Amino acid sequence: MGSEAGLTLMEVLVALAIFTGLSVAVLGLLPTLFKVNRSNQTDQEVTVAAKAYMESVRTAYSVQAAFDAGTLPAAPDTGLLGGLTCTPSQSNPVAAWTTPAGGPLLRRVTLSCSGSGQPTFTFTLDFGRPAS
């Protein structure tokens, strides 16, 4: 008689074993993928908040009196940063560059964001004293 069409039980079991092995491997990667996604989301939230903060500093420091006063805007809200706390600071990166009154001509603003079990994010931007 001719050969019969169809799959033997052994072929079906081998195909099922291969499918099971591949499924276990793919499903095992899902927790890692979720963790990486969560980490990337936190990175993005912090970067967007830092950019907005530095823009608010740039706006404030565009006026010479505000630059000379050296008052920094409030730090970004921690509720938006996935539990990270941000601390702004400023320094004079070139001590020799001063106005006749002794104020800095350049201010370096640093925003450091850190949290429990998370890396520390540091953003730095230099601002020059605006002309009068």
Q: What is the mean pLDDT of the chain?
A: 89
* Percent of the chain whose pLDDT exceeds 70: 97
How do the residues of the chain divide into helix, strand and coil, expressed in percent and rounded to 5? Answer: 45, 20, 35
Residue 38 pLDDT exceeds 70:
yes
Residue 9 pLDDT exceeds 60:
yes
Predicted local confidence at residue 14, as pLDDT: 94
- The stretch 55-81 carries a mean pLDDT of 88
pTM (predicted TM-score)? 0.74
Q: Is 132 exposed, middle or buried (0-12, 13-18, 19+ CB in 10 A)?
A: exposed
Residue 40 pLDDT exceeds 60:
yes
